[in-house]
Amino acid sequence: MFLPQEIIRKKRDGVMLSQQDIQQFVAGITDNSVADSQIAALAMAIYFNGMELEENVHLALAMRDSGRRMHWKDLNLPGPIVDKHSTGGVGDVVSLMLGPMVAACGGFVPMISGRGLGHTGGTLDKLSAVPGYNPFPDPELFRKVVKEVGVAIIGQTSDLAPADRRFYATRDVTATVESIALITASILSKKLAAGLDVLVMDVKAGSGAFMPTMQKSIELAERIVKVGNGAGVATTALITEMSQPLASTAGNSIETREAVRYLKGDERNPRLHEVTMALCAQMLIGGKLASDEADARAKLQAALDSGRAAEIFGRMVTALGGPADFLENYDRHLAPAPIVRPVFADKTGFVGAMDTRGIGMAVCALGGGRRLASDELDFRVGLSQFVELGQNISKDTPLMMIHAADEASFEDAARRVKAAIRIDEIAPATLPQVYQIIRGE
Ligand code: URA
């Protein structure tokens, strides 16, 4: 007989759980036969005792199998199924360019994206700023767009890894989110359900990252690579820089606009370009669409220069209900905020450090992120034209532009972003954009 308390007891006492223990517990989470208190107790036992690699693989697979699994074999696609997942950040608009760029090089990208969480923006919210875009197409339309366009970016439906939703909700209120084993299983359960051949993880490090320290970011990346490969998906991870916003903008419409301009070659923030290229390159190499980094970068650059990646983005938007002329007339379709004004530094010096989380919270407070899951977003608001770390500024240099709905929210955001930027007398050391690439054995 299955007794959840016996499984909790084993984990509490540091005994390794069997595949059957894990499968039974996860089935109980899914069919509600396990109580919230028991989920909380197991989560806390795992938080303290961790999981062996083998247990972690079994947990990720059991959570994958708690709902619908996508299959692509029957479509006979002439390329690998590849995707990227980021632990999230501020101005992390990479997915919007990466999907079309990789599709232009022969990959098929069924990207299931999330809403913004806390200070971090969400790909789904950015695309929802496009009028008419339907992030919840029926599964057949999703498959059709992936097959015909090469990429479809949509939202997570409730039938994908449902055990994760209940498990995460319990972790969220019991101080057990911060377990490397549980984060790994949670992220991978959803990615494994999407039926990928190749996954590239972008694990951020720095003041805007989900993980609190570089060491923890590396630990998470290493664990995801091992468990992902153990579960049958060729997984690689990059540790990337998040000590300042990645793009030149943060906010939903404004980031989508930046993505389109990037794809069309109108403007390419060099830091954003480097991270995007590095992630895309690993996807091409993992999917055997490029022989090495140089080959991958040449192919990706050609996809940008020829306009093919931009064209694919436009086709994806149209296929999912957005305007047919979005690529050409994005400014007509993305409503601006009523107030767009700069905020100035009070001091002369070098931009020495940024509280990137604080900057993300300023976007949230402007109405661009949610405090409650039920909050409606104002897609128009956000921040743009950020100063960069190391930049030499004076009192009349704008720190950034604030896009606000009204005067009160402008003033609040101005106070927040000024508090989030430290001005020093000496320039800080230059940081790399990619700290490390972690590959499977
Ligand atoms: N994101 C997820 O999907 N799961 C976690 O546990 C943490 C971040």
Q: Mutate which of 112, 177, 187 to test ligand 1's pocket (most atoms within 8 Å of Cβ)? A: 187
**Per-residue pLDDT at 118:** 81
CATH architecture observed for domain 335-424 = Alpha-Beta Complex (3.90)
Q: Return d(Cα 133, Cα 313) in angstroms, integer.
A: 12
Burial class (CB in 10 A: 0-12, 13-18, 19+), 303: buried
3 state DSSP class of 79: coil
Residue 258: how many other CB atoms lie within 10 Å = 26
Give the closest residue (by CA) to ligand 1 atom 6. Answer: 183
Q: Is the CB of 183 under 6 A from ligand 1?
A: yes
Q: In what order do the strands lie in the sheet with 392-393?
A: 392-393, 349-354, 421-424
Give the DSSP letter string of 238-282: EEEE-SS-SSSEESHHHHHHHHHHHHHTS---HHHHHHHHHHHHH
Question: Please, what's the b/e burial string for 203-228 (b: 16 or more CB within 10 A of its CB; e: otherwise)?
Answer: bbbbbbbbbeeeebbbebbbbbbbbb
The reply to whether ligand 1 has any atom less than 6 angstroms from the CB of 186 is yes
Phi and psi (nearest 5°) for 339? -115, 125
Which residue owns the Cα nearest ligand 1 atom 8?
Answer: 183
For the chain, count helices (H), then strands (E): 17, 13
**Which one of 186, 203, 219, 224 would you pick to mutate in the ligand 1 pocket, going by the greatest count of ligand atoms within 8 A of its CB?**
186
Inter-axis angle of helices 270-286 and 293-305, nearest 10: 120
pTM for this structure?
0.97
**Alpha-carbon distances of 52 from 18, 76, 175, rounded to whole Å:** 11, 36, 21
Tell me which of 1.20.970.10, 2.30.30.30, 3.40.50.11890, 1.20.950.20 is the CATH number of domain 4-50.
Answer: 1.20.970.10
Q: What is the DSSP string of 85-118?
A: EE---SS--HHHHHHHHHHHTT-BEEEEE---BT
Tell me how far the alpha carbon of residue 354 lies from the centroid of ligand 1, in angstroms.
Answer: 24
* Strand ranges inside 272-378, DSSP E: 339-344, 349-354
Closest-CA residue to 8 (of 54, 36, 42, 35): 42
Distance 187 CA to ligand 1 centre (A): 5
At which residue do the structure tokens 């093919």 appear? 308
Q: How many angstroms is it from 336 CA to the middle of ligand 1?
A: 32
**Atom 2, ligand 1: residue with shortest CA distance:** 187
Indicate which atom in ligand 1 lies nearest the CA of residue 190: 3
Contact 126, 252 (CB under 8 A): yes
Contacts of 158 (CB under 8 A, 6+ apart): 165
Which residues 6+ apart lie within 8 Å of 24 measured at CB?
A: 2, 7
Q: How far apart are CA 42 and CA 12, in angstroms?
A: 8
Q: In this structure, are residues 431 and 351 in contact, taking their beta carbons and an 8 Å threshold?
A: no
The Å distance, Cα 323 to ligand 1 centre, comes to 32
Closest C-alpha among 282, 260, 271 to residue 208 = 271
370 and 377 Cβ atoms separated by less than 8 Å:
yes
**Ligand 1 center–CA 117 separation, angstroms:** 10
Nearest CA to ligand 1 atom 3: 187
Residue nearest to atom 7 of ligand 1 (CA): 183
Tell me whether the CATH fold assigned to 4-50 matches the one assigned to 335-424: no
One digit per residue, the tens of pLDDT, for the chain of length 441 reads 899 999 999 999 999 999 999 999 999 999 999 999 999 999 999 999 999 999 999 999 999 999 999 999 999 999 999 999 999 999 999 999 999 999 999 999 999 998 887 888 899 999 999 999 999 999 999 999 999 999 999 999 999 999 999 999 999 999 999 999 999 999 999 999 999 999 999 999 999 999 999 999 999 999 999 999 999 999 999 999 999 999 999 999 999 999 999 999 999 999 999 999 999 999 999 999 999 999 999 999 999 999 999 999 999 999 999 999 999 999 999 999 999 999 999 899 999 999 999 999 999 999 999 888 788 999 999 999 999 999 999 999 999 999 999 999 999 999 999 999 999 999 999 999 999 999 997
CA-to-CA separations, 303 to 99, 148, 267, 269, 294, in angstroms, rounded: 12, 17, 16, 18, 14
- Cα of 186 to ligand 1 centre, how many Å? 5
Pocket test for ligand 1, best of 64, 177, 223 (most atoms within 8 A of CB): 177
Q: What is the pLDDT of residue 375?
A: 87
Q: At what angle do helices 4-12 and 19-30 cross, to 10 degrees?
A: 130
Provide the pLDDT for residue 441.
77
How many angstroms separate the alpha carbon of residue 295 from the centre of ligand 1?
33
Q: Is the CB of 187 under 6 A from ligand 1?
A: yes
**Which atom of ligand 1 lies closest to the CA of 210?**
8
State how far the Cα of 219 lies from the Cα of 231, in Å rounded to an integer: 18
Q: Where are the domains of the chain?
A: 4-50, 73-160+190-329, 335-424
Q: Which atom of ligand 1 is nearest the CA belonging to 187?
A: 3
Q: What is the sign of the dihedral through the CA atoms of 25, 29, 35 and 41?
A: positive
Catalytic residues: 83-86, 123, 171, 186, 190-191
CATH fold, domain 73-160+190-329, is Pyrimidine Nucleoside Phosphorylase; Chain A, domain 2 (3.40.1030)
Which residue owns the Cα nearest ligand 1 atom 5? 183
What is the three-class DSSP state of 439?
Answer: coil
Cβ atoms of residues 154 and 143 within 8 Å: no
Measuring from atom 1 of ligand 1, which residue has the nearest CA?
187
